[in-house]
Amino acid sequence: MADEDFPPPVRLMNFVSEEQLAESKKTRGARVEDGTAQRDRPLYEILKENKDKKDAEFNERFKHQPPKALDEDETEFLEKLEMSRREYEKQVADEADEQLRSFQAAVAAKSTIVHEIKEMPLVPKVQVHVRAVMLAFRLGSASGHASHHPS
């Protein structure tokens, strides 16, 4: 009864006899990953060759099929994308035009100011000084302070 209470011990490692190994080689062939076959080429070459074979099979399968037509959702998306691109290009062009007009207006305003300054008659510095003194005198006499000239 003591044997019935405990489960059988778990075997951590299963040993394979040479006969079993030889039989499995016959049924599935030698494999590199389990050590039954030696690698004669680097793993990179083996994996690359397998990938190239898979890609060639895929391309051969789909080579003769015509391209899939776009469905309604795809065409709608592409139309919206094109419309969005056109709106963006128009906005950029409008901004460039506005900046150009603003620049041209600024240049025109500056040249008008320069022409006005050039057209103003030049007043000699002596006359400017005399006018300033006279203006100061008028302001002083108008406010009742006539102390600028001696009596």
- How far the first Cα of the chain sits from its last, in Å, is 147
**How high is the pLDDT of residue 54?**
95
- pLDDT of 14 reads 73
- Calculate mean pLDDT across residues 58-86: 89
Q: What are the pLDDT digits (tens) for 6-65?
A: 766 666 667 778 888 788 777 776 665 665 566 677 888 889 999 999 999 988 888 777
Burial (CB < 10 A; 0-12, 13-18, 19+), residue 140, is: middle
Residue 145 pLDDT class (50, 70, 90 cuts): low
87-123 residue pLDDT tens? 999 999 999 999 999 999 988 888 777 666 666 666 5
Q: Which is it for the CA torsion 113, 115, 120, 122, positive or negative? A: positive
**Predicted pLDDT at 144:** 55
Mapping DSSP to helix (H, G, I), strand (E, B) and coil, where does residue 30 land?
Answer: coil
Q: Name the one residue in this structure whose structure tokens are 């898979």.
A: 54
Six token digits for residue 85? 């691109």
User: Nearest-5° angle of CA 31, CA 32, CA 34?
Assistant: 75
Q: Tally the residues of the chain.
A: 151
- Please tell me what DSSP assigns to residue 40: S
pLDDT attached to residue 99: 96
Q: Rounded to an integer, what distance in angstroms lies between the CA atom of residue 137 and that of residue 145? A: 9
The pTM (predicted TM-score) of the whole model is: 0.34
Distance CA 141, CA 25 (A): 128
63-72, 74-83, 121-130: which is most confident: 74-83
Element at 78 (helix H, strand E): helix 72-119
Output the pLDDT for position 151.
44
